[in-house]
Structure 1
């Protein structure tokens, strides 16, 4: 009888290459399964959109970080219609009704399902304190209610000396720098004009204003006629935020977070400087009519720590300066490219006031053509060009007449909606008259312009922004004749990430003799 050989035999050796092949195969299988699910079985699979966008979030992230996604959306709506699937779980809407359906409160529905929430991946970085931008419904309402006092009509009247002081300084600086005192123009025999970069001058003004209103001290940009290092770092930090957002969208934040923290020196520097300014502001013993006085009063009652105050102050700085400066730069360029509109708004300003002292936050509200110019500039060059995502609540929701399943992400992309020929007559033309009931533009959907958003999370500083823009623009038009230094340049040919990557807007400014 023969017994089997029971001696132990070793399994064949497994090499590193074999393990790598197995891992790669598993990854390919997982990705292929995920793509097939997204294309054919996902709850949003019935909505049209580009194949690569529907299959994976990667194309979205690439185009976003190339600064082109906001511009892509116009072409995508033209090709696929008013509802486009721009990522496996995200829909973009072109219909003006989508603004109130996505960002407003839904009547007849009990909270919290009456309000679409913000996705954390778009608004919050793990490990950082939350702010009014990223807080949940209840805390957001508390913060907004307390911050609102700094944006009230009464507060704006009390803030006017602060705001006006920096605009006075802007006008003085422009007069000092707009002529080359060491050179003569051979054509006129007068002092040669210097190119003034209005991208910088507007930014310096709005950052100084908001610095004082948020921290009780300016950044000193206008005084020195140069960027404060912190102000310069803000732009770089915002640009890097697009990279962080892409990493989060792809689900790799847990892997790259330590590396991103190490690389993002601009964000660290921004937070450090913000903290220093906030601590100095918190130590002030007298009340000020500024934007964070309300939060400081409730700091102890609500248990707000210094990091939460810092995040809210940081949001105020960026939202209250960069966006206003962008709008002012945009309207200046568009007016200088459209001489008829420039002539009309200059005539309106100079015929409305007999002295500069008459130009106030209250009096500029009567400049109806200027307001139309600002609205048209906000349409053609919205400071926030992207879509602001929201999550559809349990049970799903109807957006612009279309049912969207729960947990989907929905948004309205501003630049695309503002340039749609379905909503606007001659959408790429600068026509302020469309906001003055001109019958040529009777079919324009004016409610499609929502640069400050709508609903319970709309921009708290809307009224302040409009007042500040009107006052600054009126003072400049009253004091200077302007001309583009590079008239053939298409200044609007820019990339937009979270904010626009604005180049220099060089302008010749000739002081008006009176």
Structure 2
């Protein structure tokens, strides 16, 4: 007869479990601090042993500012998670995002944990691997070419002119402050609707938001939570949440995208829009509605929200620096005699305006945070420093753009630094890469610059601007999740007397 098994009391079992868990946690901490390949990289203690601090600040909306604070303490290279490093050095743009890594003809792949789209859905150009990305970019590039931009000028110009008309109607000769955040959203959303899918969203026509604009805003806030979960290695949970319908705002957004794509497909004709290239190849690639919608969603958000964000930042900075605004007004109003002379082509001659936009990109980049990549097998040298394979590496835009190592008066709005002012001759201008760098840089760069120049030139030509008292600290304490969470930007617009009047 076998001896009876020893009876283990509940207290003893609990102590054993707690001991095992404690030993495991201590072992993980010891490994990450003393044995991990990144053990020699500096960083705050908690950040080196856990992803929780990063996730916390992401959800709080101040992660990019916390990274800037850490940059001031630890320098250009530091750990932001046990397996992630910040490489805030100008050379890192090429080494991380460029065509060649460590002498090998390959790219650093994107870190999939940063994606907020569930892994079981078709990838967009953002999430696609190298081969898929090349195919998608090749087809989408037709809509962003110089030829297409010239063909689109009439469409863009009509919406910008309608914007000016509406601003005249609602400003009431400068007696009412207008929320320019809304108006920039209206025009950018209408333009991308027409350029991308053949019809606007009617925002300027009705002088009000299309419901979709708020849906996108809510979906981006919801997505910050998904990114936080991904940071903690809980990507399967994010996929499960999508499958269970627990991602209401993102689901609602994607349903609207699908409807918009179906409307465009029903047009049944070729037109110089942004999605035409994909539609021509959809049968050959066996791309279904989900695949088209995934890419259309990128076009809508990247083509509207980022443009309106930069215009908001530029107007906030100009109205907060009246001497800069006066200089820009002098350039614009001395260059043109009428609205009709202000075109996508003619605004290219406004050099000070370009400097104003570039300086706004530096101080208020629409994509303020990181673009993480994974270091390939064998490791890579980034900005002269070896980074082990499997490490997540990234450049953080806002911290880099405010680093006194690279910029004189880094927190001041000085467009003159881009105009050859000798005081700023030592600034490292290559640091500024608001559209990213390399083969995955933003395909819509030319369209964005053209659109922003035309809108800003028309507004400055037609109106004097004064910022309202309640918006003087507009940039102060803003949160940034996937994009900025922008408060109202209230500005008084006073019509300018036309030449000859």
Establish whether TM, by shorter chain, passes 0.5.
yes
1:192: Cα distance to partner?
6.7
Secondary structure of 2:480's match? coil
Please give the residue correspondences for 1:455-470 in structure 2 after superposition, counting only pairs within 5 Å: 455-470=438-453
Q: Is the 8 Å Cα contact of residues 230 and 238 (structure 2) preserved in structure 1?
A: no
- Aligned match for 2:109, one of 117, 120, 142: 117
Q: Distance in 2 between matches of 1:477 and 1:441?
A: 27
Encode CA deviations 1:180-238: one digit per residue, 9 max, x unaligned.
xxxxxxxxxxx771120001110111111111111111111111222211111101111
Going from structure 1 to structure 2, the CA distance change for 1:57 and 1:350 (only over 3 Å counts) comes to same
Q: Does 1:150 align with 2:143?
A: yes
Encode CA deviations 1:393-429: one digit per residue, 9 max, x unaligned.
1111110010111111110100000000000000000
- Aligned match for 2:23, one of 10, 20, 29: 29
Give 4+ residue runs of structure 1 displaced > 6 Å after superposition.
none
Output the TM-score relative to the length of structure 1.
0.93
Secondary structure of 2:479's match? coil
Partner in structure 1 of residue 7 of structure 2: 12
Secondary structure of 2:465's match? strand
Q: Distance in 1 between matches of 2:158 and 2:334?
A: 24
Q: CA RMSD in A?
A: 1.7
Q: Does 1:43 align with 2:26?
A: no
1:13: Cα distance to partner?
6.1
1:249: Cα distance to partner?
1.6
Partner in structure 2 of residue 231 of structure 1: 213
1:126: Cα distance to partner?
2.0
Q: Distance in 1 between matches of 2:238 and 2:369?
A: 25
Q: Distance in 2 between matches of 1:151 and 1:491?
A: 32
Q: Does 1:327 align with 2:302?
A: no
Partner in structure 1 of residue 202 of structure 2: 220
Partner in structure 1 of residue 492 of structure 2: 508
Going from structure 1 to structure 2, the CA distance change for 1:398 and 1:107 (only over 3 Å counts) comes to closer
Partner in structure 2 of residue 303 of structure 1: 286
- Aligned match for 1:364, one of 332, 337, 347: 347
Q: Is the 8 Å Cα contact of residues 102 and 380 (structure 2) preserved in structure 1?
A: no
Partner in structure 1 of residue 464 of structure 2: 481
Q: Does 1:288 align with 2:282?
A: no
Q: Is the 8 Å Cα contact of residues 118 and 239 (structure 2) preserved in structure 1?
A: no
- Aligned match for 1:374, one of 331, 352, 357: 357
Partner in structure 2 of residue 89 of structure 1: 83
Q: Distance in 1 between matches of 2:83 and 2:439?
A: 24
Q: Is the 8 Å Cα contact of residues 230 and 269 (structure 1) preserved in structure 2?
A: no
Going from structure 1 to structure 2, the CA distance change for 1:309 and 1:22 (only over 3 Å counts) comes to farther
Report the structure number with the largest CA radius of gyration.
1
Q: Does 1:64 align with 2:58?
A: yes
1:513: Cα distance to partner?
2.3
Please give the residue correspondences for 1:46-445 in structure 2 after superposition, counting only pairs within 5 Å: 46-106=40-100, 109-111=103-105, 114-123=106-115, 124-179=117-172, 193-255=175-237, 257-259=239-241, 261-445=244-428
Output the TM-score relative to the length of structure 2.
0.95
Instruction: Extract unaligned runs of 5+ from structure 2.
Output: none
Q: Distance in 2 between matches of 1:206 and 1:26?
A: 56
Secondary structure of 2:236's match? helix
1:169: Cα distance to partner?
1.2
Aligned length: 495
Q: Is the 8 Å Cα contact of residues 103 and 456 (structure 1) preserved in structure 2?
A: yes
- Aligned match for 1:450, one of 433, 442, 463: 433
Going from structure 1 to structure 2, the CA distance change for 1:161 and 1:22 (only over 3 Å counts) comes to farther
